[in-house]
Structure 1
């Protein structure tokens, strides 16, 4: 998972510091607890169960290497473990705003390849859930007696650790469909007019900075939100998966079309990159975007939309989790070259691309 911090998070940190200075003068009762992450609650409970009461049933589900994750839906459907996994998956789908008939999202993986030798020596593994909070002071794991074991988030443990987490790749795919449907119902999804061909922005290379992500995070799952004004003067939104962007600090050469200008009134659009962190609620995000963008009126000249998109993101997303990655303002049909993101966390090289009609 990426660990970028947008300006809004910096402002939140500054505010927190100011409050902390005056903590003695403020009544403790006024402090508001951070709401629990429902996905994190589910995966933590399942990790405790896999380590303790379901340990025998779960033994065949734990991978022997760190190169793959195992979907927990492989547990027999009628077994206590299978019933617990399916109930947990329904809760996760609901918390993420995904349809209840969606794919099973809960997986388990070995946290790091360096843990394999200890595992082969018979060292008893711990089981933990992968927290979405990158700023946490510890990672909670469980031993065979289901006792809590606190691990440092900054150092890979010597003892093998299995991580229960959400299949973020599958979640992004389903989430993009939910967002497109939700925005379409409100007339805010892009509607390509490709009969005569159109211009698009092609990303020839992209690199996201390395921000020392913790050991308990796996590959990043990035998606893009492109926005511009439609022919009716309303803001139109398109969402795009970027499944190849697995790691920061690596340059990728996708040749992907990220902005399609066929739906836009002007030859300008904005681009925001977001990260699926396991707790992302796609329907909530789509509804928040829809409500915020409906208030923006086309005044006959293009208005940048990045700030409106970021302001629409639910406040809870900014408390702990860096879901925002970076953004690029006013890309045009003629934009070409290497561009640094507004948050200085990403660099993309782009060029105009003419999409031929069929």
Structure 2
């Protein structure tokens, strides 16, 4: 069923602790075959992002049998930040690293295709070092490599060692060896993905800006100098925001949040504005972004809805755009404001709520005059907003 504001929320973020308890021997296969077979069952049309990440993780793990390459990877990731995997493999002089360069580039292109992103988006796959054992020098044990888990409720996932052996890692105990995670640069993917959504909306006239003549230009009888001083746009500003559960497995790191603002445009058609929120990446943390959420000059009525979501890995932005556009084109302006948040949520295929753009929360009927704290409909967060006039330069 489609998820709405009344659907029960998922459980809280999983912890970052892990354990390696089960060993399962794997047969050695070619990198491309691993990637394709791992994801084919998920999408039915090609490898999924999760499958591509898993194939990449397995290949990277096996390459770490090369001591020089293992040291280079360790040094690159030791600072705690995620490392661009394509840049690292293309820049290394080690044999094992160079051998991964072409497959990693191919995997990057496959990720872009699976996520509905343009082929020129650039490198997306990255690798990061996690787990306490890795940072305290616990041992010189051989590291494990895993695809970053995307299931919020999962209690275990699979990592690989340099022999191609799979280790099932659990979420309630810490491992005794370093662990690398392979995942997608979420911030880059969201930014590129929302451009795809915007282009699809524009193609159907669902994000047409207000005519210049309809933008607030001050009192009609004001002098030209006074009118110029008061020209500008009315907006709603996010003064602060807090989310209880960002819908991202704790071991995976930062969340990638974005919001779809919906309402009726000046032309009477439903419209959607996309809002990136790269700062909102931790649960139970209050942020003070002073970010514009709604530009009221683009809306016919003084009300709009906001649907907050999180990119959980396999988000196909081209499919998301198509689904949202399709449902919004069936809605007509009845001369009164109609909430569109449920229409947006209902447009998302049921399967996407498993690993893809997680529903975080939604806010109905935000008014042009709304001020103060508004709790989300799903009780997963709140936003503190205020009207804000942006003067014309």
Q: 1:38 to 1:73 in 2, by over 3 A?
A: same
Q: Secondary structure at the match of 1:331?
A: strand
Q: 1:341 aligns with which of 351, 356, 376?
A: 376
2:136 corresponds in structure 1 to: 117
Q: What residue is the counterpart of 1:76 in the other structure?
A: 90
1:216 is paired with a residue whose SS is helix
Q: Which moved more, 1:247-256 or 1:153-162?
A: 153-162
Instruction: Provide structure 2 residue ranges, at least 5 long, that are not aligned to the other structure.
Output: 12-40, 92-96, 218-231
Q: 1:42 to 1:9 in 2, by over 3 A?
A: farther
Provide the secondary structure at the position in 2 that maps to 1:175.
helix
The answer to whether structure 1 residue 52 and structure 2 residue 87 are counterparts is no
In 2, Cα distance between the equivalents of 1:300 and 1:353? 26
> How far 1:61 moved relative to its partner?
3.0
Q: 1:6 deviation in Å?
A: 6.2
Q: 1:211 to 1:177 in 2, by over 3 A?
A: closer
Alignment length, in residue pairs?
A: 334
| Contact 1:190–1:238 (CA under 8 A) maintained in structure 2 | no
Kindly tell me: are residues 290 and 275 of structure 1, through their superposed partners in 2, closer, same or farther at Cα, counting changes over 3 Å? Answer: same
Residue 61 of structure 2 corresponds to residue 61 of structure 1: no
Q: Structure 1 residue 65: deviation in Å?
A: 2.7
> 2:127 touches 2:180 (CA, 8 Å); kept in 1?
yes
1:124 is displaced (CA, Å) by: 1.4
Residue in structure 2 matched with residue 186 of structure 1 by the alignment = 204
Any gaps of 5 or more consecutive residues in structure 1? 14-32
Corresponding residue for residue 41 of structure 1: 51
Note the C-alpha offset of 1:52: 0.8
Q: CA distance change for structure 1 residues 332 and 8 in 2, over 3 Å: closer, same or farther?
A: closer
Contact 1:96 1:282 in 2 (8 A): yes
| Residues 66 and 109 in structure 1, CA contact (< 8 A), matched pair in contact too | no
Q: CA deviation at 1:321?
A: 4.8
1:170 aligns with 2:179: no
1-side partners of 2:141 and 2:195: how far apart? 43
Distance 1:136 1:91, change over 3 A: same
Asked if 1 retains the 8 angstrom alpha-carbon contact of 2:131 and 2:175, the reply is: no
Task: Note if contact 2:256-2:310 (Cα within 8 Å) is conserved in structure 1.
Answer: yes
1:14-49, Cα deviation, whole Å (9 max, x unpaired): xxxxxxxxxxxxxxxxxxx86577000000011000
What is the RMSD of the two structures over their aligned residues, measured on CA atoms?
2.5
How has the CA–CA distance of structure 1 residues 64 and 103 changed in structure 2, closer, same or farther, with 3 Å as cutoff? closer
Matched, 1:205 2:223: no
The residue aligned with 1:141 is: 159
* TM-score, normalising length: structure 1: 0.86
1:355 aligns to 2:365 (yes or no): no
Distance 1:213 1:266 in 2: 34
1:49–1:55 Cα contact (<8 Å) kept: no
1:192 CA drift (Å): 4.6
d(CA) in 2 for partners of 1:185, 1:220:
29
Residue aligning to 2:296: 261
1:12–1:157 distance in 2 versus 1, CA, 3 Å: closer
Show the counterpart of 1:93.
112
Cα distance, 1:211 vs structure 2: 7.3
CA 1:58–1:40 in 2, change beyond 3 Å: closer, same or farther? farther
Match for 1:298 among 333, 336, 361? 333
Partner of residue 269, structure 2: 234
Deviations 1:309-328 (A, max 9, x none): 10011222123456110000
2:132/2:178 contact within 8 Å kept: no
Residues 319 and 110 (structure 1), Cα distance of their counterparts in 2 relative to 1, 3 Å cut = same
Deviation digits for residues 295-318 of structure 1 (CA, Å, limit 9, x no counterpart): 111100000111001001122212
Check conservation: 1:127, 1:142, Cα contact below 8 A. Answer: yes
Aligned partners of 1:47 and 1:12: how far apart in 2? 27
Give yes or no for contact 2:248–2:254 (8 Å, CA) kept in 1.
Answer: no
* C-alpha contact (below 8 Å) 1:125/1:143 kept by paired residues: yes
Q: 1:176 to 1:34 in 2, by over 3 A?
A: closer
* Greater Rg over alpha carbons, structure: 2
